[in-house]
Amino acid sequence: MKKFLAAIMAVCTFMSVSFGQTISYKRPAAIGVSFFLNDFATAQKIRSTSLSKVLGDKQWSKFKDMSPGLAFSYFKGLSEHIDFAGTLGASFVRYPIPNHTFFSDKFLLESDATMNFKMLTDKYWVQPYVIAGIGAHMYGGKYFGAYLPTGLGLKINLFDDAAIFVTTQYRVPVTKQTAEYHFFNQFGIAGRIGKKNEPVLKPLPPAPPADTDKDGIIDSLDKCPTVPGLQKYDGCPIPDTDKDGINDEEDKCPTVSGLARYQGCPVPDTDKDNINDEEDKCPTQPGPISNQGCPFVDTDGDGIADPDDKCPNLFGTPENQGCPAIKEEVMKKVNYAASNIYFATGKYVLLSRSFKGLDDVVKLMKDDAQLHISIEGHTDNVGSDAANLKLSENRANAVKAYFVKKGIDAGRIQSAGFGETQPIEDNKTAAGRQKNRRVELKLSYF
């Protein structure tokens, strides 16, 4: 019974779907919509180990680890065994561009043009095919890359009007600075567009029309019927539309008066920064006039030019003046350590119960070598101003010395004492004076 059912399925799979529709089995034009999953992790595992190891150890990515998206496609048969396919896909993904780190998903737009080399023609219900082509992407509105899509696909015809298609592509980067190896897994449906071809009887050719100037353009379409001319000028001789002394055949800007040294065009502004190329120090890169037409450098690529970037070598955000944001859990540990710094009464000798919190801060700074810390000492108003200022400075320096002793470079630490000048509570109460006797720890990247 199982062998019989298998035989029936095989016959259905390769049964002809033409049944009187058309003699040609070249695929008609169609548009499709599909759901896809981008898989970067499996490609990385294959490249770092091998395909056989990934398959043997079942290390491929699960659906939840892939990035979903939506795509639209256009299909057109070039021959009975070769289809053209153009696809535009959109998704939100954290794209692993080499040497860049992104902290959130960004918009990815991918476009490719491929040839589908079919093993069977559209005469059959099912057509397996091999995919090869070229593609490009735009990520986050500023990263552009190119890749080569290769892979396998399967198309299932539905009554010669629609089709289900499934593909898996291995996308090989061409621009390796902005693209990465990944799999593109797609499932969708496509429908025929336009009318089905039907035989049309051709009418008898009409009598040849008149062509007075014998230039190959009939008089009814010839704007200069008595003077020989060219078809692209409606039968007239080569014009000089902009009257700049350069005829339109040699004029790169035939409707705008220009100069011979620019092939009939005005002085150009290649980078469209409103500074013409003859005065622009960087004619192919837009920049402000204050920098002679050149763009300001953005070393860390965070979209904030170096002159305005407090951390020009660290990817940051505008809210932090170009520096990375300090994580909330890091701030909590630092604030906890600051609130648990204790000294001997009236002195600047650190008590041992301060060490645990300070050691946590030391670890944070060792884990992130870009972090800097500011230590600020404060006192209450008991005693003279000068004595309080000196005590606050000594206490801040004592904390700094502890950090240096634990291996933190002194160049990453700033310390200062403010005495009684910056109270946070009323010094008239014991509780207020206790809160004013404090050391504050502040992290930053600059």
pLDDT at 381: 93
pLDDT, tens digit, 9 for 90 and up, residues 165-207 = 999 999 999 998 999 999 999 999 998 987 775 555 567 777 7
Kindly tell me if the per-residue pLDDT of 370 is higher than 80: yes
Kindly tell me if the per-residue pLDDT of 10 is higher than 50: no
Locate the domains of the chain by residue range: 12-192, 328-444
Kindly tell me if the per-residue pLDDT of 9 is higher than 70: no
Query: Residue 277: helix, strand or coil by DSSP?
Result: coil
DSSP 289-325: GGGTTPPPP-TT-SSS-GGG-SSTTS---GGGTTSPP
E strand or H helix at 366: helix 355-367
Instruction: Report the pLDDT averaged over residues 234-245.
Output: 84
Of 3.40.50.800, 3.30.1330.60, 3.40.50.720, 3.30.1360.20, the CATH number of 328-444 is 3.30.1330.60
- Helical spans, DSSP H, in 31-92: 41-48, 51-56
Kindly tell me if the per-residue pLDDT of 78 is higher than 90: yes
Kindly tell me if the per-residue pLDDT of 88 is higher than 80: yes
Instruction: Report the pLDDT averaged over residues 3-14.
Output: 43
Question: For residues 75 and 190, what is the distance between their CA atoms, to the nearest angstrom?
Answer: 8
pLDDT, tens digit, 9 for 90 and up, residues 116-126 = 999 988 888 89
Instruction: Report the pLDDT averaged over residues 374-403.
Output: 93
CA–CA–CA angle 159, 161, 167 (5° rounding): 95
Question: For residues 6 and 431, what is the distance between their CA atoms, to the nearest angstrom?
Answer: 87
Angle between helices 385-405 and 355-367 (to 10 degrees): 60
Question: 220: which DSSP letter?
Answer: G
- When mean pLDDT is compared across 91-95, 201-205, 376-380, 417-421, the lowest value belongs to 201-205
pLDDT at 116: 95
pLDDT at 242: 85
Instruction: Report the pLDDT averaged over residues 210-220.
Output: 83
Burial of residue 369 (number of CB atoms within 10 Å: 0-12, 13-18, 19+) = exposed
Give the residues across from 129 on adjacent strands. 118, 153
Kindly tell me if the per-residue pLDDT of 249 is higher than 90: no
DSSP 101-127: --SS-EEEEEEEEEEEEESS-TTBSEE
Query: Residue 14: helix, strand or coil by DSSP?
Result: coil
Residue 77 CB: number of other CB atoms within 10 A? Answer: 20
pLDDT at 200: 54
Whole-number mean pLDDT of the chain? 86
Question: 64: which DSSP letter?
Answer: G
Instruction: Report the pLDDT averaged over residues 299-318.
Output: 75
Kindly tell me if the per-residue pLDDT of 337 is higher than 50: yes
pLDDT at 118: 93
Give the residues across from 438 on adjacent strands. 378
- As its CATH architecture, domain 12-192 has Beta Barrel (2.40)
Kindly tell me if the per-residue pLDDT of 300 is higher than 90: no
pLDDT at 15: 47
Percent of the chain whose pLDDT exceeds 90? 46
Instruction: Report the pLDDT averaged over residues 339-355.
Output: 91
Kindly tell me if the per-residue pLDDT of 2 is higher than 60: no
174 Cβ contact list (under 8 Å, min separation 6) = 134, 145, 146, 147, 148
pLDDT at 275: 86
**Contact predicate 125/13, CB 8 Å:** yes
Question: For residues 211 and 230, what is the distance between their CA atoms, to the nearest angstrom?
Answer: 13
Instruction: Report the pLDDT averaged over residues 2-12.
Output: 42
Query: Residue 1: helix, strand or coil by DSSP?
Result: coil
- When mean pLDDT is compared across 41-55, 327-341, 358-372, the lowest value belongs to 41-55
